[in-house]
Amino acid sequence: MSFFDPSSRTPARRSVWLAVRVLIVRLRFFLVLVAVLLLVGYWHVLRNYWDRWTRSSAVPDGAISADTEYWCPMCPGVVSDWPSKCPVCNMTLVRRKKGESVPLPDGVLARMQFSPYRVQLAGIRTADIEYRPLRREVVLVGVVEQSRSTSAVAVRAEVFAVDLPFLREGQTIEVDADPLPGHVPFQGKIARIESASVRLEIDDPERELRPGTLITARAEAPIMRLPWWQRAVLEEWRNQTAADLALHTLFAPAMPAFPGGVEPLLHQAGTQATLAMGQGAAVPCGAVIDHGARKVVFVENGPGMFDAVEVVVGPRCGDFYPVLRGLETGQRVAATGAFLLDAEMGLDRGLAAAYFGASRGASEPTPAAPATAPSSLSTEDQRLAAKQKTCPVTGEALDAMGGPVRVEVAGRVVFVCCKACEKPLRRSPAKYLAKLPAK
């Protein structure tokens, strides 16, 4: 006889059995739910046990430990706790200790991988490096002096030294006159270029421009067609070719006919073809982080993985920089959120403290006082800053870097775009004061 044999049950046993069955029926959904929750909550533990039981025979003794992992040198984002092959390039994974630093590729300053959640949270957006027809716009302000002929007037306009490489004699310009708002732009050309000014000739068949009229002229220069930029591209190609030939000579001494320099030659052929069409590789301005001594761009080389790469770029053209070195077309860079990546990677500790609230150590120097805010300037200083408009050191707008910052030098009140520009201004006042219009 047993408890489960109905014929052997006493009335008391039958009552207990009936109560158990009723309890099981009523709690069956709750028990199933608890079992599912336990399975989900401890899934990673069960999976680890399963991996150990199923793979232990294929792994040598002592090959796996708590501080060991396997990674792919070709695809650094591929990391495994077990020896296997990379699912991307099929290369055998290399063993290393967890947290061990590995050599970075040439030109890569730092590397970090972020989860999709952190990428979304930081608002990081990427953009392609593409060929673009970049043009640099130069704005000239001057006053009509006198008529030269029946259909042209002469204008002398001030120009910053940083803008001179983008101007040439005979270059066409479009002119707007302050007293004639909404007027169709006048056409003209640059007649002569001087050290700190240019002479303009403006077509005015209706003689609407009177002596003393304030005009604003705009000249556009296609960067890729400028001779000095093309020379810079050729010089970069020569350096790459020389380095490639040196490597082939060093590592293949028995093969003098080995085709060293072919890759840079083919690359340069494509570059020259695009230059002939007035186009070149361009990177968004928001992707370039300026550290003063170097400029850094964050290149995406895998899902959520970014490399800090040093680049050499040309002058800003609208929302883009032309690329001279460090980037290739087809690469993707962090166009939005690059400052956060820079702070996270520790390339700029000041930014890390500002963005992430990191505490400063006692040994770290006290940060410099912030630049004078525009609202703290007196009414007279605000008027002078509005008249000056641009920083004599960088040529940028006075509010481009948090300014204007008031500086008294050589008995004159001058405004710069940031605190960093104060030092070069005080060191060479004559050089930069010459760029400012007369009082």
Instruction: Give the DSSP per-residue string, 349-384.
Output: HHHHHHHH-PPPPTTSPPPPPPPPPGGGS-HHHHHH
Higher per-residue pLDDT: 80 or 407: 407
Phi, psi of 406 (to 5 degrees): -85, 130
pLDDT band at residue 362 using 50, 70 and 90 as cut-offs: very low
pLDDT of residue 104: 67
pLDDT of residue 205: 85
pLDDT of residue 112: 78
pLDDT of residue 284: 94
390 has a pLDDT exceeding 50: yes
Of 222-236, 330-344, 399-413, the range with the lowest mean pLDDT is 399-413
**Residue 174: which of 205, 134, 220 has the closest Cα?**
220
* Tens-place pLDDT, residues 179-192: 888 889 999 999 99
Instruction: Tell me which H or E stretch contains 302.
Output: strand 295-302
Query: What average pLDDT score do residues 230-235 get?
Result: 81
pLDDT of residue 232: 82
* Tens-place pLDDT, residues 84-131: 887 766 778 878 777 666 666 677 888 777 777 778 888 889 999 999
pLDDT of residue 33: 81
Higher per-residue pLDDT: 217 or 262: 217
Of 167-181, 354-368, 377-391, the range with the lowest mean pLDDT is 354-368
pTM check: above 0.85: no
pLDDT of residue 244: 65
358 has a pLDDT exceeding 70: no
Tokens found for residue 27: 């709690």
* CA distances, 138 to each of 175, 218, 311 (Å): 12, 6, 25
Over the chain, what is the mean pLDDT?
76
74 near 86, Cβ under 8 Å?
yes
pLDDT band at residue 8 using 50, 70 and 90 as cut-offs: low
